[in-house]
């Protein structure tokens, strides 16, 4: 699939959500992966990330 600007779209195998690759990766981490399995997460806002650089500082 392609988005309006010509970029590729991907579908979540868990729930069928369709979005760009980066946004879909964030969706899977936030909605389908347990907190114990995510390398970095915030206990206050439940933000999750695979990279320390994307993780916000308190």
pLDDT averaged per 10 residues, the chain (length 58): 83 93 87 84 78 61
Residues contacting residue 51 through CB under 8 Å, at least 6 positions apart: 39, 40
Q: What is the pLDDT of residue 14?
A: 92
What pLDDT does 40 receive?
81
Residue with tokens 């916000």: 56
Predicted pLDDT of residue 53:
62
Q: What pLDDT was estimated at residue 54?
A: 62
Query: Which residue stretches of 1-58 are H helix?
Result: 21-31
The predicted model scores a pTM of: 0.67
- Rounded Cα distance between 22 and 31, Å, is 14
pLDDT of residue 37: 84
Does residue 1 lie in a domain region? no
- Looking at the structure of the chain, the number of domains it has is 1
Instruction: Give the domain extent around 20.
Output: 10-54
Return the DSSP state at 40: E
């Amino acid at each position: 699939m392609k988005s309006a600007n010509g970029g590729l779209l991907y579908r979540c195998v868990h729930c069928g959500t369709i979005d760009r690759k980066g946004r879909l990766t964030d969706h899977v981490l936030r909605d389908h992966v347990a907190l114990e399995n995510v390398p970095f997460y915030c206990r206050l806002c439940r933000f999750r990330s695979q990279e320390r650089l994307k993780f916000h500082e308190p």
